[in-house]
Amino acid sequence: MSTDTATPEGQYRVVVNDEEQHSLWPLRTDPPAGWVPTGFVGTREECSAHIDRVWPDIRPLSLRRRLAGDAA
């Protein structure tokens, strides 16, 4: 028996917030307020690998902008 409680199938979705921070969330539940699905769904390992590929700079968007001198 699997100990993965995400779903019976162990599926997750990748979600992102307005600071471009990524996370994985159980597929069977809605993400929390402020987080939206990116469209990527898979196992915990697949989602983690996807996040590693698409989010190389884990600093929040506001910090990246501030350090780049962009006041936007």
What is the domain class of 1-57 according to CATH?
alpha beta
What is the reported pTM? 0.78
Determine the pLDDT at residue 23.
97
The pLDDT tens digits of the residues spanning 53-68 come to: 999 999 999 999 999 9
**Domain spans of the chain?**
1-57
Q: Minimal CA–CA distance to 54: which of 9, 12, 24?
A: 24
The pLDDT tens digits of the residues spanning 9-46 come to: 699 999 999 999 999 999 999 999 999 999 999 999 99
Q: What angle (nearest 5°) sits at the alpha carbon of residue 34, between those of residues 17 and 44?
A: 60
| Percentages of the chain per state (helix, strand, coil), in multiples of 5 | 25, 25, 50
Determine the pLDDT at residue 69.
87
